[in-house]
Amino acid sequence: MKKDSFVLRGGIVYSKNLNEIEAYDGGYLVCEDGSCKGAFPVLLEKYKDLPLIDFGDMLIMPGMTDLHVHAPQYTFRGIGMDEELLTWLNKYTFPEEAKYKDIEYAKKAYDHFSEDLRRSFTTRAVVYGTIHNEATTALMEKLEKTGIISFVGKVNMDRNGSAGLQESSAAESLKATEEWLEAIAGRFKNTKPILTPRFIPSCSDELMRGLGELAKEKGLRIQSHLSENKAECAWVKELVPSSSCYANAYELFGAMGSNEFPSIMAHCVYSGEEEISILKKHGAFVAHCADSNMNLSSGIAPVRKFLDAGINVGLGTDVAAGSSMNLLKTVLITIQASKMYYRLVDNSAKPLSFEEAFYLATMGGGKYFGKVGTFQEGYEFDAVVIDDSLMKSMRDMSVRERIERICYNDSDAFIVEKYVRGKKIYTRTR
């Protein structure tokens, strides 16, 4: 028998595409050697010799992908939400991230982050570290032990930081980045590096250009922030006056990625037609962070327009501007934000349905990692088992209704087990 081969039985729910959810009450989910062979209402004869794990009436859904989360900010999640972006960075974020120069502080903080991520709905994540090589390597080590599959970035910033959080020059930042890449080369199976210029205001032209060249030379991906806040957008125009828009500034420095090595641009709240065209041209992924965008009064991203344009979109929790790493909560806030965009900003932009938002959290973001985020045959087997038995109801609900109910009210539902590539990485012990 192949390694990591088994069958799970329960209430199975997953996306078939952007607009359709497939669900089976008492269905069967087959994993062979870490790969999904499909979900079925009745177990096929050829799989009946595989070990069967029966979860009864519990729900089984694909693991979720967090395309944008700041590990060092986890320590102050839920604090300081009365500020807007630029003030919030200077008042809360930069002072906290400066502490990660102390490796013992970093290790303890990343223990909390990594363990809580392991116990969440997330099976794949794209993560920001800090400017500190040693701390970022420690973060990668801890994430590797969780079994979660991730991209992790050492942050670059050589201007507009703070006394305790700024690299001395572009040359020094690039040198540190290459030293970090060399130090972690070949060490990890599940944890890969990603180049991480914080955003244009934090990176000089020389640094941005150097990171673009480094990405091309080494075949690396880039993650950054784009058009999150009005004041930020105006600042970028001052800093890069030759750019026609914020996305074009990245493009000028060769830092927008390609279809082969796609970038992730977080937020894109104020991305108009030109930026949408640039994002699509480069095969970029938009990390939509609705919770963060509302908490910092940034605005509401035009997600419907991104989808209509054929742009890749996934969800990001953006802790700590986002208040939680719970991606089911993020699905809910994503739907609510789209409704407000429709009602208050553009009546032609239809709100996201539950099916669409669930897709973004699973298949949409999962696409960044390859064939990830659904239970269709040939996809990597990432799954989360959920017990919602404490959520009492007088209704006889379908599996699809139950997962929507958990999304809108998850206080009495909990994760029982979690699998990544067919390996169990979490079991609830109480």
User: And the tokens for 222?
Assistant: 């880039």
Confidence grade of residue 281 (pLDDT, cut at 50, 70, 90)? very high
Strands (E), 297-369: 312-315
pTM beyond 0.75, yes or no: yes
Sign of the torsion angle spanned by Cα atoms 396, 398, 400, 403: positive
Which tens digits make up the pLDDT trace of 332-358? 999 999 999 999 999 999 999 999 999
Contact 265, 275 (CB under 8 A): no
> What was the pLDDT predicted at 412?
77
- The mean pLDDT value for 385-414 works out to 91
| Peptide bond before residue 320 is cis, with ω within 30 degrees of 0 | yes
* DSSP 8-state symbol, 45: G
Confidence grade of residue 2 (pLDDT, cut at 50, 70, 90)? low
- Quick one: what percent of the chain has pLDDT higher than 70? 99
d(CA 289, CA 273): 20
Q: What is the chain's mean pLDDT, rounded?
A: 97
- The mean pLDDT value for 293-313 works out to 97
Is the pLDDT at 158 greater than 60, yes or no? yes
261 burial (CB, 10 Å; 0-12 / 13-18 / 19+) is middle
User: Is residue 214 helix, strand or coil?
Assistant: helix
> What was the pLDDT predicted at 163?
87
For the chain, helix (H) and strand (E) counts, in that order, are 15, 17
> What was the pLDDT predicted at 221?
98
Confidence grade of residue 410 (pLDDT, cut at 50, 70, 90)? confident
- The mean pLDDT value for 233-253 works out to 98
Structural domains for the chain: 6-62+374-427 (2.30.40.10), 64-369 (3.20.20.140)
95 burial (CB, 10 Å; 0-12 / 13-18 / 19+) is middle
- The mean pLDDT value for 322-327 works out to 95
Contacts 24+ apart (CB under 8 A), 327-330: 327/64, 327/65, 327/66, 327/120, 327/121, 327/122, 327/361, 328/64, 328/121, 328/361, 328/406, 328/407, 328/410, 329/291, 329/407, 329/410, 330/290, 330/291, 330/361
Which tens digits make up the pLDDT trace of 129-152? 999 999 999 999 999 999 999 999
> What was the pLDDT predicted at 4?
86
User: Is residue 87 helix, strand or coil?
Assistant: helix
- The mean pLDDT value for 148-163 works out to 97
- Single out the residue of 161, 367, 397, 187 nearest to residue 283, CA to CA: 367
Contact 254, 224 (CB under 8 A): no
**Between β-strands 414-420 and 383-387, what pairing exists: parallel, antiparallel or unpaired?**
antiparallel
Confidence grade of residue 172 (pLDDT, cut at 50, 70, 90)? very high
